[in-house]
Structure 1
């Protein structure tokens, strides 16, 4: 029983100590076991191993979470770099602000070793403690007996004020840094990295329509269209802005209201480029689209300050103008002779016909020189090649032209803006030839009042509005609406022309209900049945009588 096998069998047979068992019984039990019986050993280290394994699992889990967080943070920083967020610039700016916040006469604010709490190791509380702590308060230096140091105290107080401002700026920079570090989490709620710096939160499409958000920085214009079918208003808003339903929201047109067959749309006026506004709002692709059976622009609310408007104040009277006829074929001397007759009758302005430009038989410069030599206020037509428009206008003014005329819709409405911006010192007469192609069509086009208002806003001092004679396409309501459009804001002179002569001049003013900032423009009617000088004089007499009439008497008439 002294060998190892016997002892092992003894332990397996008698796992618990039993002092009462005699040797014979114990031997019988031992010898009764078969050799193949497995011997079960005690495992004293099992609890320790289990505890060690559990601890290792917990530690691995903790380290895994930390590595995951570090990885996310590193990936976040990488994506910050991808989005070009200027973190280095922000840190450099904060360091520069800290340097500016340290005055040269304060040795206690000298640089300290870096402690990870700011550009120079100072945190906000320490800087405040040094700047505003005991012994350095500006109010303490104002104690009795120290008034001689008033200038020094004032400088110290100014430094305190600047220091507080710098500290607030640094606090803002630190807040921005914290926002940048956590942009991954914020992006899930719809905030882009570059929007975090600007403090702007992206909104859903529904919320953005209620609160403009990013559109607040853009000037908005509202346009009212007569549509058929009116359900196509959303399509119109897309056509005139981004072109696609998934286009950028902040420059997208949107439907504001729908009332009957009219839809009110809002567009961002991203620029004051007249040509682009015409290409979208007034004469856009909606005219080409087969989605509309009717699409007519009837009203526009222009944002203030988008255009310059007229350069001169319109006179509070009825003016009389006249056109040199025949339109073509006259020499410069003949043009001057006719213009002198019209001016002798009392015409306030004599102008070229829209067909007369700079032909060989009547050059512009020679014509202007001839007319101006007779003392006539003459509006020369400078319509022509766009690359030399301003050069022609400047030369005409140098030679004595008292006004400039341009075919605004043939030359382009932007020509008015260019002439207005040149500040040549003379009024601009905008001829509307070509506008009828926009305004005459009842289903597609633009209301005449919108055209007249845009012409005034672009810089025209004289705007043609049609007449009540029936010789032009304008209805009476259209003419009155155009006159009203000319008189909004800084007024332009509303020019009533088209079949106007001395025999119907009074009827024109009665129908217009206006005796201020309007002009009666005589054309071919002034040359029928007598001399043009007499026709102009008769019209001038009528205009003066209406200018002297009280407003209430005119309304009754």
Structure 2
């Protein structure tokens, strides 16, 4: 009998139970079982529908639980950690991303036998690739639309994040375009409020972008934040497209998986996926999601660019985690379609991080978005753009930033200011 097509997911668990017993509880809870045997769960049904424990590797013992509310060890035993791989028959759910989330990351996090549980990675069978488009543009399409080859894309964020009206935003975009910026994005807090309506902002910013493109031949890519309800996002996308825009942005945790799928199927522009809210899913090392598992689902739904935080960032994530996240976006999801996404480095980025960021990405296929690191340059916005580009020129050439700055005053000023 041929084994059915299966989905696999890897976890890190911590438990007061024998790890093998805890893993079987996970498998039962997320497939055919419940807290006690029921008459309908026959051996035949379990053979057809039950999740399986594929692998288990012990990771040692620990005296204190990582999370509250879990069962206590008995007979003086310690808590135990293990890596566990579960698998499910795809026939349980079909190639459905929303139902995949319920299967691999549903009630597991609440189970009392676990004082820690973290989803590390997921591997999906080919029917998922047939059901979802994945990124429509990726790095190749992004480079083509932005007119940038052979180096990272240099971007920035409209700052202040909120408070500017549409005219102010357009004026700042005009300065940035004149400075030669490759990419501009809305802050995730700037959406469609009465102080800066989406439609007005798009028209004003695109007037500045198009005017600069007419003069220079270079069209800056702008990621307009169209986060909203599904019909709103479709309408906003269509406006950006009609005005000559080349990118849209959505906050994926806010729009949800179904919203992202709908946007991915509708869009004719790259999707810049913002991860605001991600910290709540990952900050505890023994709870939630690891980035490779989480980002694969959004890649499958259509994300072309994905935020990975930044080197020496302003948040709590360490550099090793940022590097692992960035590189995971190049991990192929399927043989026929790798569905790679562009890593977006952000959060407190300045010229100083350029060499480490380039090394972290492992190639120049990246986008850096520095808000204050560009807009707050002491010699003005245009100098901020120039300084950031010079920093990456130096990093690509393997030249020390301070040495390069001797003949590049904008970089020298930025190194001193930041």
2:188 to 343, 349, 354: 354
Is contact 2:230–2:262 with CA below 8 Å preserved after alignment?
no
Q: 1:480 to 1:304 in 2, by over 3 A?
A: farther
2:234 to 364, 385, 390: 390
Aligned to 1:120: none
Matches of 1:333 and 1:285, distance apart in 2: 48
Task: Report whether the alignment pairs 1:234 with 2:24.
Answer: yes
Task: Report whether the alignment pairs 1:515 with 2:330.
Answer: no
Matches of 1:374 and 1:470, distance apart in 2: 31
> What SS does the aligned partner of 1:416 have?
helix
Is contact 1:275–1:413 with CA below 8 Å preserved after alignment?
yes
Matches of 1:303 and 1:343, distance apart in 2: 44
Q: 1:342 to 1:267 in 2, by over 3 A?
A: farther
Structure 1, gaps ≥5 residues long: 1-210, 551-557
Is contact 2:358–2:364 with CA below 8 Å preserved after alignment?
no
Aligned to 1:312: 137
Matches of 1:547 and 1:415, distance apart in 2: 38
Matches of 1:481 and 1:305, distance apart in 2: 27
Is contact 1:403–1:426 with CA below 8 Å preserved after alignment?
yes
Mapping of residues 358-507 of structure 1, within 5 Å? 358-375=192-209, 376-422=220-266, 424-488=267-331, 489-507=338-356
Is contact 1:468–1:476 with CA below 8 Å preserved after alignment?
yes
When you count strand as a share of all residues, which structure comes out higher? 2
**C-alpha displacement at 1:535, in angstroms?**
1.5
Matches of 2:33 and 2:365, distance apart in 1: 42
Deviations 1:172-218 (Å, cap 9, x if unpaired)? xxxxxxxxxxxxxxxxxxxxxxxxxxxxxxxxxxxxxxx6x4x62xx
Matches of 1:305 and 1:544, distance apart in 2: 42
Is contact 2:8–2:86 with CA below 8 Å preserved after alignment?
yes
Matches of 1:478 and 1:304, distance apart in 2: 28
**C-alpha displacement at 1:412, in angstroms?**
0.8
The number of residue pairs the alignment matches comes to 333
> What SS does the aligned partner of 1:425 have?
coil
Q: 1:492 to 1:259 in 2, by over 3 A?
A: same
Moved over 6 A (4+): none
Is contact 2:138–2:270 with CA below 8 Å preserved after alignment?
no
Task: Report whether the alignment pairs 1:524 with 2:346.
Answer: no
1:341 to 160, 163, 175: 175
> What SS does the aligned partner of 2:351 have?
coil
Deviations 1:468-508 (Å, cap 9, x if unpaired)? 21422322222222122211223211011111012332332
> What SS does the aligned partner of 1:271 have?
coil
Deviations 1:350-377 (Å, cap 9, x if unpaired)? 1101011111121111110111112242
Task: Report whether the alignment pairs 1:276 with 2:62.
Answer: no
Mapping of residues 184-333 of structure 1, within 5 Å? 213=2, 216=4, 219-229=5-15, 230=19, 231-244=21-34, 246=41, 248-249=45-46, 250-260=48-58, 261-269=82-90, 270-282=93-105, 284-306=106-128, 307-315=132-140, 317-333=151-167
Is contact 2:226–2:250 with CA below 8 Å preserved after alignment?
yes
When you count helix as a share of all residues, which structure comes out higher? 1
Deviations 1:451-471 (Å, cap 9, x if unpaired)? 223222221111001112142
> What SS does the aligned partner of 1:322 have?
strand
Structure 2, gaps ≥5 residues long: 59-81, 141-149, 210-219, 332-337, 400-418
Is contact 2:8–2:87 with CA below 8 Å preserved after alignment?
yes
Is contact 1:502–1:536 with CA below 8 Å preserved after alignment?
no
More contact order relative to length (CA 8 Å, sep ≥ 6): 2
> What SS does the aligned partner of 2:350 have?
coil
Deviates more, 1:241-250 or 1:251-260: 241-250
Matches of 1:542 and 1:513, distance apart in 2: 16
> What SS does the aligned partner of 2:114 have?
coil
Backbone CA RMSD of aligned residues: 2.2
Is contact 2:13–2:116 with CA below 8 Å preserved after alignment?
yes
Q: 1:240 to 1:346 in 2, by over 3 A?
A: farther
Is contact 1:318–1:546 with CA below 8 Å preserved after alignment?
no
TM-score scaled by structure 2? 0.74
**C-alpha displacement at 1:391, in angstroms?**
2.2
TM-score scaled by structure 1? 0.56
Matches of 2:305 and 2:361, distance apart in 1: 19
**C-alpha displacement at 1:546, in angstroms?**
4.0
